[in-house]
Amino acid sequence: MATEGEYESILCVKPDVNVYRIPPRASNRGVRAADWKLDAPDWTGRMRVTARGKVAFIKLEDKISGELFAQAPVDEYPGIAIETVSDSSRYFVLRIQDESGRSAFIGIGFGDRGDSFDFNVALQDHFKWVKQELEISKQSQTPDNTPKLDLGFKEGQTITLNIGQGRKRDKSRPQSAGGFGLLPPPPGGGGTKIAPPPMGRLILCGK
């Protein structure tokens, strides 16, 4: 149930709702609105659906003065606090309670099908939120047993960082333009020698 001091929010307001005194349920079969005196409602007024914490309250109030006629606390939907009838989507069975905790079942109905749809959706949305809150609460209370990765340093452990001290290139070794090393000379000492031209063929140029 709701606790004192919790904020009360409005989920839905419908200006016209009819209340019916319903006969006792004779068997386990579904309740039929056709068994009520639909053309002669016992009370007509306004419905206001509010929420305080996880509990929704369906309040039946006087249209002019706002005086409370009856209210039904709803802690789950669908549930015993409010039931649909088997022969119409515009009528419901409501369990109302007074301050002393005494309860009674009444029938309520809307003249417009859209009003009953809005009423139904408002309750569904509220208890969908309640379910999500419960799941979040369970997850926060579940201990995390997954192993933790220890990235801390052990006692006496150090790490060395070499910043800006890359390997220097050995400039004493010649580098070819294409990046290939020079081939060594063939064996035989000194490589191939080129003979000078014959003296008789030497042509001197000049004056």
* pLDDT, tens digit (0-9, with 9 covering 90-100), for 79-89: 999 999 999 99
Mean pLDDT for 81-102 is 94
Give the range among 121-125, 140-144, 197-201 with minimum mean pLDDT: 197-201
Question: Is 164 or 204 the better-scoring residue by pLDDT?
Answer: 164
Q: Is residue 202's pLDDT more than 50?
A: no
CATH 2.30.29.30 fits 8-141, yes or no: yes
Task: Report pTM.
Answer: 0.65
Judged on CB neighbours under 10 Å (0-12, 13-18, 19+), 12 is buried
Q: Is residue 189's pLDDT more than 70?
A: no
Count Cβ neighbours within 10 Å for each residue of 166-195 and write b for 16 or more, e otherwise.
Answer: eeeeeeeeeeeeeeeeeeeeeeeeeeeeee
Question: Is 35 or 149 the better-scoring residue by pLDDT?
Answer: 35
**Residue 28's pLDDT is what?**
72
Q: Is residue 185's pLDDT more than 70?
A: no
Judged on CB neighbours under 10 Å (0-12, 13-18, 19+), 126 is buried
- Find the distance separating the first CA and the last CA of the chain, reported in whole Å: 128
**Residue 78's pLDDT is what?**
87
Instruction: Give the chain's mean pLDDT.
Output: 81
